[in-house]
């Protein structure tokens, strides 16, 4: 059984909501089957739980900590003090640093904890950053070379929020000491190797270049409506949300929320283009070939695609 402490820093509770929605397995299952001992979680711990005492015991070496989960960006403002986000007058960034040094494994739950996320975008008034990344730059609260007791970097379960099943399955693998391969951004490769584009029900519209110009249609949202599915690694269309849907199925473009530069500082509902060509090509695709193929494909589109007869 692995001891787990889940702490929130500059968070909106999105990862907690995702955690509580997980079904495959659910967090209750992991607790009930004895995989994890949840020492503390802001939404699961009862009124008797004493976070301050727990933190003190872990720091003193009286309580072991196998898995530290951090939800939210690390707030370092104002002026590097971290006092915009404190617990009992102590900056949470210092608490996280101290707990990370005691933990067997540290997991950044969500894009904020992994890369800084929304608070770190734009002019970043709270001086927020991620645990081991600052947006796409290596090094955040912890230096990039930092390793946990188990010899691992911070494991980045990215997403805004991360997919519920990705959160709980990562915990389940760690609880059972099963191997967890990481990708170049220290995300569990198992959940971040497929593209959102793969499994999207609008794929055939994409192939034949049948693109929507307004939201709410049946076509592809890549060319005009900002969809980043072809360059975003996540399970959203292969493991559906709540077992039934995804953003693209519901007619909302993928915003690329598992990437370190999320949110992009452009209109999320509009594709950035140079003349008529999207600036960002699908992952691994060359611009010239893509455009040539698209023009041919559009001319060959079958009637069911041209007339938008397919249900998304």
What residues make contact with ligand SF4 under the rule CB under 6 A?
196-197, 200, 202-203, 206, 220-222, 227, 229-230, 248, 254
With CB atoms as reference, the residue minimizing the distance to ligand SF4 is 229
Please give the structure tokens belonging to residue 228: 């980043």
Residues found in the chain: 312
State yes or no: 163 annotated in a binding site.
no
- Which residue, 119 or 229, is less far from ligand SF4 as judged by CB? 229
What are the contacts of 187-193 at 24+ separation with CB within 8 A?
A: 187/114, 187/155, 187/156, 187/157, 187/158, 187/233, 187/258, 188/155, 188/157, 191/157, 191/163, 191/166, 191/234, 191/235, 192/158, 192/233, 192/234, 192/258, 193/233
- Which residue, 6 or 208, is less far from ligand SF4 as judged by CB? 208
Q: Give the C-alpha separation, 98 to 102, whole Å.
A: 7
Q: For the chain, how long is the longest CA-to-CA vector? A: 70
CB 247 → ligand SF4: shortest distance, Å?
9
Q: Among 146, 72, 80, which residue's Cα sits nearest to residue 116?
A: 72
Asked if 76 contacts 1 with a C-beta cutoff of 8 angstroms, the reply is no
State yes or no: 69 annotated in a binding site.
no
- Which residue, 157 or 221, is less far from ligand SF4 as judged by CB? 221
CB 200 → ligand SF4: shortest distance, Å?
3
- Which residue, 114 or 227, is less far from ligand SF4 as judged by CB? 227
Angle at the Cα of 108 from the Cα atoms of 11 and 119, rounded to 5 degrees: 35
State yes or no: 21 annotated in a binding site.
no
Do the strands 90-91 and 86-87 form a parallel or antiparallel pair, or are they unpaired? antiparallel
CB 283 → ligand SF4: shortest distance, Å?
11
CB 123 → ligand SF4: shortest distance, Å?
29
Please give the structure tokens belonging to residue 209: 């270049």
Cis before residue 164, ω within 30 degrees of 0?
A: no
- Which residue, 41 or 249, is less far from ligand SF4 as judged by CB? 249
State yes or no: 254 annotated in a binding site.
yes
State yes or no: 197 annotated in a binding site.
yes
CB 218 → ligand SF4: shortest distance, Å?
10
CB 160 → ligand SF4: shortest distance, Å?
17
Asked if 212 contacts 225 with a C-beta cutoff of 8 angstroms, the reply is yes
- Which residue, 25 or 282, is less far from ligand SF4 as judged by CB? 282
Annotation: binding site for [4Fe-4S] cluster: 12, 112, 160, 197, 200, 220, 227
Please state the residue numbers annotated as binding site for [3Fe-4S] cluster. 236, 254, 257
Binding site: which residues?
Answer: 12, 112, 160, 197, 200, 220, 227, 236, 254, 257
């Amino acid at each position: 059984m692995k001891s787990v402490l889940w702490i929130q820093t500059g968070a909106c509770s999105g990862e907690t909501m995702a955690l509580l929605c997980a079904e495959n397995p659910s967090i209750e299952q992991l607790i009930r089957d004895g995989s994890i001992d949840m020492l503390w979680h802001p939404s699961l711990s009862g009124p008797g739980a004493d976070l301050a005492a727990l933190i003190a015991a872990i720091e003193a070496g009286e309580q072991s900590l196998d898995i530290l989960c951090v939800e939210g960006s690390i707030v370092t403002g104002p002026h590097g003090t971290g006092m915009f986000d404190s617990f009992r007058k102590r900056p949470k960034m210092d608490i996280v640093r101290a707990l990370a040094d005691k933990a067997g494994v540290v997991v950044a739950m969500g894009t904020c904890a992994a890369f800084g996320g929304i608070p770190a975008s734009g002019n970043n008034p709270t001086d927020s950053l991620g645990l081991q990344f600052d947006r796409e730059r290596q090094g955040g609260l912890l230096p990039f070379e930092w390793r946990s007791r188990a010899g691992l970097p911070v494991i980045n379960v990215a997403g805004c929020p991360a997919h519920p099943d990705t959160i709980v399955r990562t915990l389940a693998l760690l609880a059972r000491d099963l191997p967890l391969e990481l990708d170049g951004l220290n995300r569990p490769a198992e959940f971040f190797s497929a593209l959102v584009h793969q499994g999207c029900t609008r794929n055939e519209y994409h192939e034949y270049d049948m693109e929507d110009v307004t939201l709410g249609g049946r076509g592809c949202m890549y060319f005009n409506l900002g969809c980043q599915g072809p360059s975003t690694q996540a399970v959203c269309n292969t493991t559906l949300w709540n077992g039934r849907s995804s953003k693209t199925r519901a007619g909302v473009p993928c915003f690329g929320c598992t990437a370190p530069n999320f949110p992009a500082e452009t209109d999320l509902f509009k594709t950035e283009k140079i003349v008529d060509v999207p600036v960002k090509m699908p992952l691994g695709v060359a611009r010239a070939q893509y455009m040539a193929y698209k023009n041919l494909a559009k001319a060959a589109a079958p009637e069911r695609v041209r007339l938008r007869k397919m249900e998304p």
